[in-house]
């Protein structure tokens, strides 16, 4: 495909995007911007985005993707509870990960990759349960798909812990997701992920500033 074909595909995707899809994208962007500001409202906006996305996936019979998003939903509720509890006790600080948390995050990435890759290459494309057709996503790039998901899992866990390294893991996921989405001809989603990648860089810098200011306050 040449450049004009990509532009045409992008225009077609915009024109064919439903209101629910736009809302899902809008709430997803809001979630990342609020995370950058260390604002607890990132979780309710993120939950709305996930639920809208799961509704769209259900309509498309993409049940494997629904399972993945269900994990994000659980982690969002978990993170919301932790942040709410800390803010009720007047603690809004962000922190650097301990050695143990680094090990856990890396373990989540490795184990998550192994689990998701195994599912992608072994699940049947289609089967029937009680007369209902069930379709699973058949990836032509299972390694990249599993990699993106695994690092996003670890990033979500670190975000729930309010650890600055969440931006690192999420952006490792994003940097692979961008060409992956373009490969799948999801041009608009690729542009959105590029935007989220840039926001995550500034999110890391903002959180780093918070940590440095706290260190300076303690030193003084």
How do residues 165-201 score in pLDDT, each as one tens digit? 999 999 999 999 898 887 777 777 788 889 889 999 9
Contact between residue 50 and residue 76 where contact means Cβ atoms under 8 Å apart: yes
Q: How many domains does the chain have?
A: 1
89-136 residue pLDDT tens: 556 788 999 999 999 999 999 999 999 888 878 866 655 655 666 655
Full-model pTM: 0.82
35-44 residue pLDDT tens: 999 999 999 9
pLDDT of residue 62: 59
pLDDT of residue 63: 61
Average pLDDT, the chain: 84
Structural domain containing residue 198: 3-219
More confident residue, 140 or 198: 198
Stretch 14-29: mean pLDDT: 84
In the chain the first and final C-alpha atoms are separated, in Å, by 59
Stretch 64-69: mean pLDDT: 71
Inform me whether the pLDDT recorded for 149 exceeds 70.
yes
More confident residue, 138 or 9: 9
pLDDT of residue 163: 95
């Amino acid at each position: 495909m040449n450049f004009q074909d990509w532009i045409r595909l992008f225009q077609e995707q915009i024109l064919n995007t439903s209101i629910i899809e736009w809302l899902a994208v809008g709430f997803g962007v809001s979630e990342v911007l609020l995370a950058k500001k260390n604002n607890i409202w990132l979780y309710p906006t993120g939950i709305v985005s996930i639920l809208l996305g799961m509704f769209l996936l259900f309509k498309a019979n993409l049940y494997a993707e629904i399972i993945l998003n269900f994990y994000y939903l659980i982690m969002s509720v978990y993170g919301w509870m932790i942040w709410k509890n800390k803010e009720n006790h007047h603690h809004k600080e962000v922190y650097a990960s301990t050695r143990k948390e680094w090990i856990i995050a890396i373990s989540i990435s490795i184990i998550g990759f192994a689990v998701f890759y195994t599912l992608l290459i072994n699940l049947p494309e289609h089967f029937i349960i009680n007369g209902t057709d069930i379709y699973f996503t058949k990836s032509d790039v299972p390694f990249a798909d599993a990699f993106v998901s695994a690092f996003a899992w670890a990033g979500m866990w670190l975000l729930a812990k309010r650890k600055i390294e969440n931006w690192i893991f999420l952006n490792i996921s994003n940097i692979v997701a961008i060409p992956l989405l373009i490969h799948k001809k999801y041009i608009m989603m690729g542009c959105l992920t590029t935007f989220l990648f840039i926001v995550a860089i500034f999110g890391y810098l903002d959180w780093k500033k918070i940590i440095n200011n706290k260190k300076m306050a303690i030193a003084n």
